[in-house]
Structure 1
Amino acid sequence: MPKDEEIDWNGLVTFGSLIGNLIQASKQQQTQGQLERSKKDIEALLQDREQLIRSLNSFQKAIESFRIKTANLENINHQLIAQNKTQSYEIENQKLKIESLEKEKELILKSLTLEIETLKKQLEEVQK
Structure 2
Amino acid sequence: MSKSFTRTKAVIAGLSAAAAASAVILATGGTAHAQLDPDGKAFDIFQNNVKVGEIFVPERSQGDTDYLENWVLFPKYQYPGPQHPGLATVIKAGTTEYKSQSDFFENVPFKPGSKYVAVDSHESSGLPQ
TM-score normalised per structure 1: 0.15
Quick check: which one's helix share is greater? 1
Quick check: which one's strand share is greater? 2
Q: Which has the higher contact order (CA 8 A, sep 6+)?
A: 2
TM-score normalised per structure 2: 0.15
User: Which has the larger Rg?
Assistant: 1
